[in-house]
Structure 1
């Protein structure tokens, strides 16, 4: 059975990201200081920007942040359903454990990501490291929106001796409680 390549619009991701950031910055003039401490849960939609083949993903994430002055650190667990194509078959699921650390000012939270991922598909499973950057905007009603860029690196994909790198961009919506 051959897999047909479906047309996707990865170029839509920067447009959606720009719209979210523009909305956040436009409304931050009336911003109150936000407190990012506490548990959260949410979802996101993401696109593969630079990988073996186009892909689209949807995820659920949950985590906990701790804010000390303007510094925020946190831990997040994320589960993604994807259709990222590779030479060994599609990556169907991605599980990520990420540490987030960054700077909060007014309603904005700018952060870096370091973590581990497990990718599963027809080929079996592979472990990867994850690094990235993100930004979130607190809408002041226990709800935040944001975007996150992640790089996934696999040093020996499918025991081939070859490296595999996948860049993703996601748009996130999160309920903070």
Structure 2
């Protein structure tokens, strides 16, 4: 009887010991829930808005003169511009721009013993712009009204005129920051024929010129 009680007590102690050991063992924790997030697309550059800027470049032009020698001139041009762009669709842009440039177009030619000097000191334009955007890059064409001064000097006397014509061109522009853009463009201008009266003699002069210029703008 004592042996049976001893066996039973031994079994009870063994069972309790096993339970205590099991309680001390670490349990595997549940895996952390997996979270998924869709990538957020970067916001597209918004070209809509007003801007102002400056530009500098190289111009070259032809003065076709009646009654005096034809001349060709080239030189540095620089000025300011301002405009407004509006995004018609996510990729198509329309806008309007005005600019004023100082120019250094002057040349002298001699025909039949008569020396004539032709020059243009400034030009300006109001242009419409249409473009296609690739997020932060823009390819555009522009055209509209052009205005320039013209001067013809013969034999020490001169006459001036303000010529009105047209302009066409195009370029590429990129956003450097969210407010600064840089551009490279080509512009052609034609001002038709202007009449000059110098010392009672009538002359005519027609100016067409070309400009390649680099510019930077601040977009509001």
TM, length-normalised to structure 2: 0.61
Deviation of the 1:33 alpha carbon: 2.6
Does the residue aligned with 1:35 lie in a helix, a strand or coil? coil
- Conserved 8 A contact 2:126-2:146: yes
Relative distance call for 1:146 and 1:61 in structure 2 (3 A) is same
Matched, 1:40 2:51: yes
Deviation of the 1:116 alpha carbon: 0.9
Cα RMSD, aligned residues only: 2.0
Structure 1 segments unaligned to the other structure (5+ residues): 1-30
Matched, 1:146 2:189: no
Matched, 1:113 2:142: yes
Q: How many corresponding residue pairs? A: 147
Q: Within 5 A, what are the aligned runs for 1:1-177?
A: 33-49=44-60, 51=62, 52-68=72-88, 69-85=90-106, 89-122=118-151, 123-158=160-195, 163-177=206-220
Larger relative strand fraction: 2
- Conserved 8 A contact 2:137-2:175: yes
- Conserved 8 A contact 1:155-1:161: no
Deviation of the 1:121 alpha carbon: 4.2
Deviation of the 1:165 alpha carbon: 1.9
- Conserved 8 A contact 2:59-2:74: yes
Aligned equivalent of 2:111: none
Structure 2 segments unaligned to the other structure (5+ residues): 1-41, 63-71, 108-115, 152-159, 197-202
- Conserved 8 A contact 1:88-1:158: no
Q: Deviations over 1:38-84 (max 9, x none)?
A: 00000000111454211211110001000122111101110111111
Work out which of the two has the higher radius of gyration on C-alpha atoms and give 1 or 2.
Answer: 2
